[in-house]
Amino acid sequence: MQKEKIIIILGQTATGKSNLAVKIAKKINGEIISADSRQVYVGLDIGTGKITQKEMKGIPHHLIDIVKPKNKFTVAEYKKLAEEKIKEIISRDKTPIICGGTGFYIDAITKGVIFPKVPPNSKLRKILEKKSTEQLLKILKKLDPTRAKNIDSKNKVRLIRAIEIAKALGKVPKITAVKPLYKFIKIGLYLPQDKLKKKVEKRVKKMFTDGLLNEIKKLKKASISQKRLSELGFEYNNPTYEKVVRGTLQYAKHQMQWFKRDKEIKWFDASKKIFDIIMMKL
């Protein structure tokens, strides 16, 4: 029996993944499942570069705006919801297209994940919560250098959890290899460093023009604490243009470190005309 085909559009931030996913969905009668660990949150729109209704061009998008920002959302919860959506989309005789830059989410769907049964350590968490993401990354590097290379370095919650697990088990467990239920076609987008920098600078300028600071004010009015805002990313933690550009480029570097481990990804330079070539690969 032939496996159902699922297309994965992944890669660095600011490389045009969402736009490509919409174009492909239009061509092949697809629906899009987001694989972004922050776009799941309601109200985190500008800072996360969330796709707008206009940009969706009528293509159904799933797993965006599904959690209140006060609440935590785990990769295990994401995996469960994504697998349900995949089945739903296939049942409608459509092709699921998973699009995003959160490598852990994509691996959870395509490879399966061990979710370690390490209980929360409230005493350790209180100590770690006082530290910056940079300090937490340094701690994790000492405990588990491999995980430190691949983790979302701006996600404070994930950094704390990784340290918690590493302290309990000695290291963060690796992703397990499981027999995939579907045929995954992985398309990776990247940009040469100089072009990526320009794209990021342009995007960050637009964030501030579009009202990033007002978005933060609204979140604070909705009783989202400063502590929680810092957990949601550097864009929400007293942002400046320079700080967000620097943080985004650092994040893009970590994304590539994660994705380079996966030999199944077919890479394309997003600065070139690649749509027709990609369609031939599908």
Binding residues for ATP, as ranges, are 11-18
Nearest to 160 by CA among 180, 199, 189, 133: 133
106, 151, 273 from 144: Cα distances, Å: 21, 11, 40
End-to-end alpha carbon distance in the chain: 19
Q: Is 49 helix (H, G, I), strand (E, B) or coil?
A: coil
Distance CA 249, CA 229 (A): 20
The answer to whether residues 6 and 41 touch, using CB atoms and an 8 Å cutoff, is no
HSE value, Cβ hemisphere, 13 Å, CA-based, for 75:
22
Unique residue bearing structure tokens 């691949």:
150
Binding annotation for substrate:
13-18
Residue 142, Cβ density class (10 Å: 0-12 exposed, 13-18 middle, ≥19 buried): exposed
Distance CA 225, CA 220 (A): 6
Distance CA 69, CA 40 (A): 9
HSE value, Cβ hemisphere, 13 Å, CA-based, for 156:
24
Distance CA 91, CA 82 (A): 14
Binding annotation:
11-18
What is the longest distance spanned by two Cα atoms in the chain? Answer: 54
